[in-house]
Copies of this chain bind each other. A is one copy, B any other.
């Protein structure tokens, strides 16, 4: 695109730099030094305007979220984030928009010591692809496939706020700023992921809804699960805006929370509680893994419960 080099300079001038970045933005590729005894963890997520976020989302929030969803994937693998690349397709060269976008993107990058080491800018409809790189001691990555029957199922933080914000946005009615903030500025659970090394058996981030995401763990591990709806952690704000059945629906079927769902032997429960308390992050046991395949949802009264819709495919222009 005309002005591509100016854009790249603009980004390079603002990108942070770690000591292990031998060469960052400004060559054919980045060169990165790797610590011995570690494995590289790589994830890649795309955000498209009108698909993954409402068109009117603030550029700083788009920038923040584009990185956050990738850091969340690294967290779910127990990897410490290190570097990222940023590919942006932009409808036009708008320096103010780009600066706002970078404000959100780089604030989160700096918070977690992540260096932006490369990328590409092209002309076209607004699309953001981030590839994030993390490091984990060899053999300690938290996979989806190593959950075992009998273990506890945990989630960090609370579930359903982001889905609540989307539901309010779709109804064009009263909207909670607190819920909307959780949709626009999800907190990737980076420190929690690292702290779970050696304690958790399997993990996934909750991007598509607890039922779907836990379902991936169950399928990969060849187990089933029972989830107690009464134990699903819920923010006070969500409880203020939605009644119980609707909440369960949002918590199980709604995505975009970017909490971590993980599994662990019951013997690790105390150590996990202490590790999460040290991070000031609540973590809650919401059910147990069982040998019988499938996901069973139980009400506080012990009855079976079925959500009206278990799938969730992100924002999708208001008609998910």
Contacts and interface: CB of A to CB of B under 8 A. Distances in A.
Interface in A143-193: 143-145
Given A87-B44, A143-B27, A123 B51 contact: yes
Interface stretch (A34-42, A223-231, A301-309): A34-42
A250 to B, nearest CB: 20
B43 A40 contact: no
Sorting the interface of chain A by its residue count into under 10, 10 to 19, 20 to 34 or 35 or more gives: 35 or more
Contact of A129 (B36, B46, B73): B46
A123 B86 CA distance: 19
A77 B27 contact: yes
A31 interface: yes
Contact of A39 (B22, B79, B85, B125): B22
Interface stretch (A114-122, A264-272, A275-283): A114-122
A29 B43 contact: yes
Interface stretch (A94-102, A132-140, A241-249, A287-295): A132-140
A198 interface: no
Contact of A30 (B36, B42, B125): B42
Contact of A220 (B26, B83, B87, B316): B26
A141 interface: yes
A117 B42 CA distance: 8
A199 interface: no
B43 A28 contact: yes
Contacts of A74: 28-29
Copies of this polypeptide in the complex: 2
A89 interface: yes
A22 B145 CA distance: 13
Contact of A32 (B30, B40, B50, B118): B40
Nearest to A134: B29
A110 to B, nearest CB: 20
A23 interface: yes
Contact of A131 (B28, B131, B138): B131
A300 interface: no
A204 interface: yes
A94 to B, nearest CB: 17
Nearest to A320: B2
Nearest to A204: B28
B313 A52 contact: no
B127 A89 contact: yes
A220 B24 CA distance: 13
Contact of A22 (B120, B131, B141): B141
Interface of A: 1-2, 4, 22-23, 26-34, 36, 38-48, 50-52, 73-74, 76-77, 79, 83, 85-87, 89, 117-120, 122-125, 127, 129, 131-134, 136, 138, 141, 143-145, 203-205, 220, 313, 316
Please give me the 4 A-B residue pairs with the lowest Cβ-Cβ distance, nearest first: A29-B43, A131-B131, A44-B85, A48-B124
8 contacts: A27-B77, A30-B43, A31-B39, A34-B38, A45-B87, A48-B124, A87-B129, A124-B125
